[in-house]
Structure 1
Amino acid sequence: MTSIIRAVQEWLNGCPYLTDFTGGQHIDWTDSAPGNYGLAPTGSSVVEVSEDVLGNRTVYKQYNLALYARNWTVDDVIRLENTTFLDDFQQWVEEQQAAGLTPKFGDGPDTEEISAQNGMLFELAEDGQTGLYQIQIKINYLKRYERSGS
Structure 2
Amino acid sequence: MGSRKREMAAKLKEQKSQIAIAKLNNCPTSPRKMRLVADIIRGKKVEDALNILKFSSKEAARRLDKLVLSAIANWQSKNEDSDVADAGLYIKEIRVDGGTMLKRLRPAPQGRAHRIRKRSNHVTVVLGQKNNEEVN
Fold in common (TM above 0.5): no
Higher relative helix content: 2
Higher radius of gyration, 1 or 2: 2
Higher relative strand content: 1
| Coarse TM-score class (shorter-chain normalised) | 0.3 to 0.5
TM-score by length of 2: 0.34
TM-score by length of 1: 0.31
User: Per chain length, whose mean CA-contact separation is higher, i.e. which structure has more relative contact order (CA < 8 Å, sep 6+)?
Assistant: 2
